[in-house]
């Protein structure tokens, strides 16, 4: 009977399992093989051993794409989480019409990684975009924000920060878990709101912060759509928005170098794994679990 | 329990169905008896898409058993998409191909040798125009039209600035800079003289040809020297410093904008560089009757400005197409049938088929007529055809755009940019 129950369970899992093997694990194994080959998409792949990986050492555009990606991750994720936390705390105070605000703030998260929003971004930050028109009203001369190498990445950071809704919702759920008796006790002792936030809210919320941090870092490392659409597929101007994933795509599909692109994909996987691992190691020192 | 099992079975069956649907036959043949479906992909503006759709309808009327499914998009995304579909063994049957990628695909066996495609006649083509799609003894792309690199000028902006249209048979690069700077000054903030040269590699190629070099050599190597690229970028800086071109950000934005959104199409610049057959699309987009001017030269002689007749684009057939015969019939229709000639006119360049060219010329709309006349006028001044880009040469457009941007933003000096440009292009060649 037990075995039959198991069988039934697996049968129910089968749609997901099929997806996992056909759409995720299968292609991953294929790309691991391709990472050691020279493969131009049209002819059969040729085994080249570690050549793709050694090539990455001297590829300056790849190094640049790593710089761009790291800057993006380390600037946009903390900013995004800080804003998400701030708004979650404000909304948690029982603002009137909270459900409405929560939905409104969550909306960008649903839209943020879409092509439509990226196109909108291109318009807003273009030389004759909305932003410059607003600036002109107050007498400030704007510029081509997305076509100037010194500001293009900044517009993408703003776009990512703007999608603070999903970590915010998770923060809100976390705030609800904190027993009110702590706050009551602290209030009786005369602790200020700021003191209560740093003494109670923040420590008890660290597991949630940790969760959001891990999730958003992984997410940011894999960003592709925004940069692709905003830069018109070029990662430009001057490679200033050339994310690692974008360069990978450019090598694979633009340059018929799928072997190299596969090697890059595995490299990125390792980088993300390392960062996630370090995150877990360091978490021991700052994440506080109540029980 | 039995109910559970039935549910589970249903779940599995539906999943399998879904999966098999995903992997189903793409563009599958033979729906009804003898009926075939061809997929045909092209890049281009709305104007081109409308004309091409009409040509498809005309073909389907003549061949009721062949259905053509059009797949079209902007230039920039076209090549990524084509590479993906070819890799997935799902290439369109008939492909609008560019010189830059012809070898890339043909050398790897992705394109059919059109000489072996039975129903395709090429006897009305001049040897030169056929040769552009021919190498290693095979014909991998059939010339779909002839064009030439040119300056596109907007007379309305010239008029607004009160500047006379220049004499393009004698102008030098210095004249060009001076006139464009004057336009910018007289437009006082409402526009600029010209778009930048260096937004694609064609400008550099002509620059090199004017100085006895060439972007590519006939044996598929880089043929331009670091010194010449440096001079080219020094000139780009001159254009920037005289304010002949818009601010660097606008120039960079133009490089990835769709045709309709470029400064030339929106009437912000008086001149820009482009292909002669684009006169039609740019005129439509800007609502003005634009004019074609010859590319300036170093010496002030149009005969030495390095221009040549280029195959604006090519018709290719996928080597893996299951419908090669029908595909050949369709390409034959596009290239040799007066019915399609009368629809497509010169939007893809002046027809390479000499009979169609003669038949179509009197019927051309103003913009196409002007580009056809331009092609004819410069005929006496042309030099040798330019060697086709080697495998890996397709990347050069993105590379030159990047270095032009670096130079314009002052992030790289011309000589550094030139050296890095050449290193990178050499690195891409296989």
A19-66 residue pLDDT tens: 999 989 999 999 999 999 999 888 889 999 999 999 999 999 999 999
Cis amide leading into A75 (omega within 30): no
CA dihedral B13, B18, B19, B23 (to 10 degrees): 140
- A291 pLDDT tier (thresholds 50, 70, 90): low
Stretch A226-243: mean pLDDT:
87
Q: Is A257 on the interface with B (CB under 8 A)?
A: no
- A94 pLDDT tier (thresholds 50, 70, 90): confident
CB-nearest partner of B110 from A11, A42, A238: A42
How far is it, in rounded angstroms, from Cα B115 to Cα A84?
64
Query: Which residues fall within 8 angstroms of residue B131, CB to CB, at 6 or more apart?
Result: B385
How far is it, in rounded angstroms, from Cα B180 to Cα B173?
10
Domains of chain B in sequence order: 36-144+312-365 (3.40.190.10), 149-307+392-428 (3.40.190.10)
Contact A233 B80 (CB under 8 A): yes
Contact B253 A149 (CB under 8 A): no
Which of A43, A122, A154, A234 to mutate against chain B (most B CBs within 10 Å)? A234
Q: Is A51 on the interface with B (CB under 8 A)?
A: no
CA distance A221 to chain B (A): 22
Partners of B273 in beta bridges: B151
Say if strands B36-43 and B66-73 run parallel, antiparallel, or are unpaired: parallel
Contact B428 A255 (CB under 8 A): yes
Q: Domain limits at A171?
A: 59-286
CA distance A117 to chain B (A): 17
Helices (H), B361-413: 366-377, 396-408
How far is it, in rounded angstroms, from Cα B139 to Cα B142?
7
Q: Is residue A173 part of a domain?
A: yes
CA distance B252 to chain A (A): 6
**Contact between residue A181 and residue A158 where contact means Cβ atoms under 8 Å apart:** no
Stretch A104-111: mean pLDDT:
82
**Contact between residue B415 and residue B125 where contact means Cβ atoms under 8 Å apart:** no
Contact B84 A15 (CB under 8 A): no
CA distance A219 to chain B (A): 24
Contact B250 A15 (CB under 8 A): no
The helix (H) or strand (E) run that includes residue B184 is helix B173-187
CB-nearest partner of A144 from B104, B109, B253: B253
Specify the pLDDT at position B33.
Answer: 59
Q: B15 contacts in A (CB within 8 Å)?
A: 14-15, 18
Asked whether the predicted pLDDT for residue A125 surpasses 90, the reply is no
Cis amide leading into A237 (omega within 30): yes
Q: Is A143 on the interface with B (CB under 8 A)?
A: yes
Helices (H), chain A: 2-19, 26-34, 51-58, 60-92, 98-111, 115-124, 130-137, 152-162, 165-177, 180-188, 193-196, 202-221, 225-230, 244-249, 258-286
pLDDT in tens for each of the 430 residues of chain B? 455 455 445 444 444 444 444 443 444 444 455 789 999 999 988 889 999 999 999 999 999 999 999 999 888 789 989 988 988 889 999 999 999 899 889 988 899 999 988 778 888 888 888 888 888 889 999 999 999 999 999 999 999 999 999 999 999 999 999 999 999 999 998 999 999 998 999 999 999 999 999 999 988 899 999 999 999 999 999 999 999 999 999 999 899 888 888 999 999 999 999 999 899 889 999 999 999 999 999 999 988 999 998 989 999 999 999 999 999 999 999 999 999 999 998 889 899 898 999 898 888 888 888 988 998 899 888 888 888 899 888 889 999 999 999 999 999 999 999 999 999 999 988 7
How far is it, in rounded angstroms, from Cα A79 to Cα A60?
29
Contact B252 A236 (CB under 8 A): yes
Lowest-confidence region among A160-164, A275-279, B266-270: A160-164
Radius of gyration of chain B (CA): 24
The helix (H) or strand (E) run that includes residue B377 is helix B366-377
CB-nearest partner of B402 from A22, A41, A239: A239
Q: Is residue A6 part of a domain?
A: no
Question: What domain count does chain A have?
Answer: 1
Which of B15, B252, B416 to mutate against chain A (most A CBs within 10 Å)? B252
How far is it, in rounded angstroms, from Cα A216 to Cα B404?
35
Stretch A186-192: mean pLDDT:
89
Q: Is residue A17 part of a domain?
A: no
Q: Identify residues of B whose CB sits under 8 angstroms from chain A CBs.
A: 1, 4-5, 7-9, 11-12, 14-15, 19, 76-77, 79-80, 83-84, 86-87, 104-105, 108-110, 247-253, 255-257, 392, 395, 398, 401-402, 405-406, 409, 411, 428
Q: A13 contacts in B (CB within 8 Å)?
A: none
Q: 8-37 in A: which are within 8 Å (CB) of B?
A: 8, 11-12, 14-15, 18, 22
How far is it, in rounded angstroms, from Cα A102 to Cα A168?
9
Q: Is residue A238 part of a domain?
A: yes
3-state secondary structure of B139: strand
Contact B19 A40 (CB under 8 A): no
Contact A144 B76 (CB under 8 A): no
Contact A18 B257 (CB under 8 A): no
Q: What is the CATH number of the domain that holds A70?
A: 1.10.3720.10
Q: Is A124 on the interface with B (CB under 8 A)?
A: no
Q: Is residue A143 part of a domain?
A: yes
Contact A236 B76 (CB under 8 A): no
Stretch A114-126: mean pLDDT:
83
CB-nearest partner of B11 from A12, A147, A232: A12
How far is it, in rounded angstroms, from Cα B280 to Cα B290?
8
Contact B256 A234 (CB under 8 A): yes
Asked whether the predicted pLDDT for residue A159 surpasses 50, the reply is yes
Specify the pLDDT at position B23.
Answer: 40
């Amino acid at each position: 009977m037990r075995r039959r129950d198991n069988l039934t369970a697996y049968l129910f899992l089968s749609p997901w399992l099929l997806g996992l093997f056909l759409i995720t694990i299968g292609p991953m194994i294929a790309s691991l093989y391709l990472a050691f080959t020279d493969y131009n998409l049209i002819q059969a792949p040729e085994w080249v051993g570690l050549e793709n990986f050694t090539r990455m050492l001297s590829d300056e555009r790849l190094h640049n794409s790593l710089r761009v990606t790291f800057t993006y991750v380390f600037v946009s994720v903390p900013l995004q989480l800080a804003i998400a936390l701030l708004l979650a705390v404000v909304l948690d105070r029982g603002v009137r019409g909270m459900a409405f605000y929560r939905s409104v703030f969550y909306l960008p998260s649903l839209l943020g990684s879409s092509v439509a929003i990226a196109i909108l971004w291109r318009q807003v930050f273009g030389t004759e975009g909305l932003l410059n028109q607003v600036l002109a009203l107050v007498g400030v001369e704007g510029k081509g924000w997305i076509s100037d190498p010194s500001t293009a990445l900044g517009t993408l950071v703003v776009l990512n920060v703007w999608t603070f809704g999903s970590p915010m919702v998770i923060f809100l759920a976390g705030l609800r878990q904190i027993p009110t008796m702590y706050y009551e006790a602290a209030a009786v002792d005369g602790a200020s709101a700021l003191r209560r936030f740093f003494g109670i809210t923040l420590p008890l919320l660290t597991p949630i912060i940790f969760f959001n941090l891990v999730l958003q870092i992984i997410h940011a490392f894999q960003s592709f759509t925004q940069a692709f659409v905003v830069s018109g597929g070029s990662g430009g101007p001057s490679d200033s928005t050339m994310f690692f994933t974008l360069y990978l795509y450019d090598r694979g599909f633009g340059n018929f170098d799928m072997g190299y692109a596969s090697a890059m994909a595995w490299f990125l996987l390792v980088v993300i794994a390392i960062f996630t691992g370090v995150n877990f190691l360091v978490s021991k020192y700052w994440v506080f679990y109540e029980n | 329990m039995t109910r559970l099992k039935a549910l589970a079975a249903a779940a599995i069956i539906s999943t399998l169905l879904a999966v098999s649907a995903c992997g189903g036959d793409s563009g599958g043949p033979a729906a009804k008896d003898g009926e075939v479906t061809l997929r045909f992909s092209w890049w281009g503006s709305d104007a081109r898409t409308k004309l091409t759709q009409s040509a498809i309808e005309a073909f389907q009327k003549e061949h009721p058993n062949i259905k053509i499914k059009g797949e079209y998009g902007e230039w920039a995304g076209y090549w990524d998409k084509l590479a993906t579909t070819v890799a997935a063994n799902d290439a369109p049957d008939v492909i609008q191909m560019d010189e830059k990628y012809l070898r890339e695909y043909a050398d790897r066996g992705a394109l059919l040798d059109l000489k072996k495609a039975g129903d395709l006649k090429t006897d009305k083509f001049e040897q030169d125009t056929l040769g552009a799609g021919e190498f290693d003894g095979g014909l991998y792309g059939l010339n779909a039209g002839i064009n030439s690199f040119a300056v596109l000028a907007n007379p309305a902006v010239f008029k607004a600035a009160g500047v006379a249209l220049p004499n393009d048979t004698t102008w030098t690069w210095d004249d060009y800079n001076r006139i464009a700077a004057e336009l910018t000054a007289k437009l006082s903030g409402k526009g600029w003289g010209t778009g930048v040269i260096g937004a694609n590699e064609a400008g550099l190629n002509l620059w090199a040809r004017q100085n006895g070099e060439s972007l590519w050599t006939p044996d598929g190597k880089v043929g331009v020297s670091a010194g010449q690229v440096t001079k080219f970028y020094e000139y780009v800086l001159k254009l920037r410093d005289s304010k002949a071109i818009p601010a660097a950000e606008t120039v960079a934005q133009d490089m990835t904008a769709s045709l309709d959104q470029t400064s030339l199409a929106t009437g912000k610049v008086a001149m820009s560089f482009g292909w002669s057959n684009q006169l039609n699309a740019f005129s439509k987009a800007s609502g003005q009757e634009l004019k074609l001017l010859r590319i300036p030269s170093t010496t002030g002689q149009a005969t030495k400005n390095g221009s040549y007749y280029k195959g604006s684009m090519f018709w290719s057939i996928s080597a893996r197409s299951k419908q090669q015969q029908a595909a050949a019939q369709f390409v034959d229709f596009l290239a040799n049938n007066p019915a399609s000639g009368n629809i497509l006119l010169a939007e893809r360049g002046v027809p390479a088929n000499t009979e169609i060219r003669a038949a179509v010329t009197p019927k051309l709309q103003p913009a196409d007529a002007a580009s056809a006349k331009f092609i004819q006028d410069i005929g006496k001044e042309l030099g040798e055809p330019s060697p086709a880009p080697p495998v890996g040469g397709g990347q050069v457009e993105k590379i030159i755009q990047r270095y032009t941007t670096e130079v314009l933003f002052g992030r790289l000096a011309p000589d550094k940019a030139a050296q890095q440009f050449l290193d990178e292009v050499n690195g891409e060649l296989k």
